[in-house]
């Protein structure tokens, strides 16, 4: 399905999506963007081969699919600003965290197809993971198109219950920060034992990268992968026993629960406006 695509707001996440679409073969002339940051327009046009507009309405009016990539606290005013250009045959895809579908439907006014997404920052390097949920007006063909779009810079999962988007946020949207924090601690621990920062960083990050690659590439159970490198009374066992003694399960579970809880609170705050 060859469609005209508009991006309202062209920051890092929109750039990742546009980059993925262009890399997958989507033509630059089929993509337009709008942003109040006029000083960035020339660079974006040269980088992606797209057309940029200052007025959101100019971009939205010509699109079949509109990606809403502005900050959550600005989204309502931005949508209301181009509402006159909304057509009921359009598909709207939101990447604004915490904004629920019913709020988007209300702001868009017309009965349009809406997909709410929760991508994450690894999309910037083609390794993103996105959670998706669609409203009842979204056709199977539109859902397939959206899935392909998000797969162009990583992968995706669909959820059927919008409440599960809070869990998506906790397990994927915010989760890269958890791993960055773990890496910071590991790197510091290596340096405390005498390694220079560059060496400690490379050892730690490639271990994490390799572990993730094994989990996503192999069919083995994760627990079995762990057992495969845990020799009885060996070095790995000593480390894992310490993690268990320090309460890794309770700690990680509490972090995920806190993230999901805050996501729900933010959603309620936006919905009440």
Known binding site: residues? 35, 56
Let me know: does 115 contact 136? Beta carbons within 8 Å. no
Closest CA to 137 of 161, 156, 110, 117: 110
Structure tokens at 238: 């000593």
Are the C-beta atoms of residues 197 and 204 closer than 8 Å to each other? no
Q: How far is CA 131 from the centre of its chain?
A: 7
Residue 130, CA atoms < 13 Å, CB-side half-sphere? 31
Quote the strand ranges of the chain, DSSP E: 5-8, 31-34, 51-53, 65-68, 91-94, 113-118, 128-134, 154-158
The count of C-alpha atoms lying within 13 angstroms of the C-alpha of 226, restricted to the half-sphere facing its C-beta, is: 7
- Coil, helix or strand at residue 136: coil
- Residues within the annotated binding site for NADP(+)? 35
**Neighbouring C-beta atoms of residue 199, cutoff 10 Å:** 13
**Known binding site for NADPH: residues?**
56
């Amino acid at each position: 399905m060859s469609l005209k695509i508009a991006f309202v707001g062209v920051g890092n996440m929109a750039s990742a999506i546009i980059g993925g679409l262009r890399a997958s073969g989507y033509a630059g002339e089929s993509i337009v963007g709008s942003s109040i940051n006029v000083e960035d327009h020339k660079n974006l046009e040269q980088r992606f081969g797209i057309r940029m507009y200052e007025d959101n309405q100019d971009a939205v009016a010509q699109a079949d699919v509109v990606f809403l990539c502005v900050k959550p606290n600005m989204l309502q005013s931005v949508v209301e600003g181009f509402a006159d250009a909304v057509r009921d045959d359009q598909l709207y895809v939101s990447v604004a965290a915490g904004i629920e579908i019913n709020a988007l439907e209300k702001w868009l006014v017309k009965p349009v197809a809406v997909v709410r997404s929760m991508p994450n920052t690894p999309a910037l390097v083609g390794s993103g993971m996105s959670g998706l949920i669609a409203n009842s007006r979204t056709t199977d063909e539109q859902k397939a198109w959206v899935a392909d779009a998000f797969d162009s810079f990583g992968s995706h999962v669909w959820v059927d219950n919008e409440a599960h988007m809070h869990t998506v946020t906790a397990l994927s949207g915010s989760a890269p920060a958890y791993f960055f924090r773990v890496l910071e601690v590991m790197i510091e621990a290596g340096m405390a034992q005498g390694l220079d920062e560059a060496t400690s960083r490379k050892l730690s990050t490639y271990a994490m990268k390799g572990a993730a690659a094994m989990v996503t590439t192999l069919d083995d159970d994760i627990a079995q992968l762990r057992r495969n490198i845990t020799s009885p009374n060996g070095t790995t066992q000593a480390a894992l026993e310490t993690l268990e003694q320090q309460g890794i399960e309770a700690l990680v579970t509490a972090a995920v629960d806190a993230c999901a809880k805050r996501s729900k609170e933010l959603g309620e705050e936006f919905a009440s406006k």
